[in-house]
Amino acid sequence: MGLILNLLIQTIIWFGFMGAIIFVAAGRMDYVGGRLYLGEMVAMSVVFGLHMMRVDPGLLKERLKPPMQKDQPLADKLILVPILLLMFGGLGFMAADAARWHWSMMSSTVQWAGCGLLLAALLFMYWTMRTNSFAAPVVKIQKDRGQAVIATGPYAIVRHPLYFGALFYIAGTSLVLGSWWGLATIPLLALLLGIRIGVEERTLRMGLDGYDDYVRRVRWRLVPFVW
């Protein structure tokens, strides 16, 4: 009961905050892109959250923890700040671009296609979390949960598939919100995630048995055949 209450409270707070950013930046409440985005995100978050509560409550408990934690390396805390600022600032920029400044002109067909891309990205990211029960939101070794190296599913292709999915999540978000300029945040996010990958892999190499062997077997860190 406590876990489901925590899920509902965080869902309300998290998406209430995101909605405030979007509609304040847009300058109006009848912003269709904002409504589409929030509707899809809330629906999928509730569905995924309730399903995870049933099949992997340990991971859900980890995912609901704050982005700054005691066992987290200082370097990860420092890189998370600009990542979060880019994510939330990007939402405001995209909404202002599409609904207030009207720099981008996008058809409803493209926005609906963006809904499809966003859904695909969310499904991929959830598949990643179902494959890896240790996919916590912060960098740390989960000794209390018996963390082990995961090399199946998307982890057989890239070492950080959750971050790979995040790039498509941003692309889908930009299209749903109706902002072509929002796509410019993708390389910025990729750069920041690349820095975080360095922090994460250093921690995993030092504290997780078998990770060095996994790195030798799976070459690509973020994008297959690129890096």
Query: Does 202 map to a domain?
Result: yes
2 falls in which pLDDT band (50, 70, 90)?
confident
Supply the range of the domain harboring residue 75.
2-217
Domain count within the chain: 1
**190-211 as b/e, with b when 16 or more CB fall inside 10 Å?**
bebbbebbebbbebbeeebeeb
Residue pair 214/149 in contact (Cβ under 8 Å)? The answer is yes
For 71-94, the pLDDT digits (tens) are: 899 999 999 999 999 999 999 999
For 123-144, the pLDDT digits (tens) are: 999 999 999 999 999 999 998 9
The arithmetic mean of pLDDT across residues 16-35, rounded, is 97
Termini Cα distance of the chain: 43
Query: Does 148 map to a domain?
Result: yes
Query: Does 162 map to a domain?
Result: yes
Query: Does 222 map to a domain?
Result: no
- Give the percent of the chain with pLDDT over 90: 92
pLDDT higher than 80, residue 1? no
Query: Does 225 map to a domain?
Result: no
Q: What's the rounded Cα separation, in Å, for the pair 211 and 213?
A: 5
Query: Does 179 map to a domain?
Result: yes
Q: What's the rounded Cα separation, in Å, for the pair 78 and 146?
A: 27
Query: Does 100 map to a domain?
Result: yes
Q: How far is CA 84 from the centre of its chain?
A: 10
CATH code: domain of residue 49: 1.20.120.1630
Query: Does 223 map to a domain?
Result: no
* Amino acid present at 97: D
